[in-house]
Structure 1
């Protein structure tokens, strides 16, 4: 239910992301099959339960990876056409924007998720999204609220929470001022 930020990715990065996601989906599917087989073969109830948990995690990973891949494909052309290209990007724009985006999006993640493992999964995807920021865009010219909304949409987080991220509780280690 998440995807890589298309509005802020170069076409080459999008192609690479699609290739990586395809490979990850295959690996995740292989693991899910192994976990399913182990659960079916197990006799001890505790062992069955452990294998079922592993299978459920792997199946969720497959679903998430396929959803990301589908979203990459569906929005590529439109987003590439709509994204602003600024003539002189700030060399510090990406680092600065990540410092602004990280606590903002983490507030939304924390408000949306209940379990720590879910939070960690979203945070991992957020870090991947940061790695895909396009160096030719000056993010200091993009309104922070719009960028938070875009990243949250990409991650599959609710638009309503993203819109009111400033009103959500500050995370651990975040300055709440």
Structure 2
């Protein structure tokens, strides 16, 4: 069994969190044993700052590990793609030059990536750190996107109106759609949505139309409850 890599920044963040925990315990003890009101208040405030610092260190450590794992996955995917490409070329002695990508396919793929990123960020902002809620909303949008992708005018609309339309369909706040580029990415990538048969009354929520520029309610009730606390 291989030993996981240990990075200096991981060790430093973990050590900082441990020191904050030790400090927080000492301050808690002093606050509990102090009798002077001013001392109690001072120790309590210091305790709150120490615990907040500990939580920030742990959150940053988790984010660093997540981003590192994501980068490793992307590198492995790229290497696998390059290996497959080289193998395909090697099978043909007189192989033609590698065909240029279809601009329309690239544009579709770029639009899909942007929309998935926007919806994932908006969903995480209202999911109150619930991975189940976030994953359910992402899966619901993936099913919507399956319908949108096939529409002949999929690329006729600018990205931002389509993001607002997606927010409306999912029942997400308009303010999140307006600033989705500023929202943080979730700390994980949901698994792909399982195959699901279409309902007899299945409805395709396309095109965006004027709904993308209004604050009207969702086109249909979302599959999962969300809070508006973001």
TM-score bracket for this pair, using the shorter chain length = 0.3 to 0.5
When you count helix as a share of all residues, which structure comes out higher?
Answer: 1
Higher relative CO (CA 8 A, sep ≥ 6), structure 1 or 2?
Answer: 1
TM-score by length of 1: 0.42
* TM-score (normalised: structure 2): 0.33
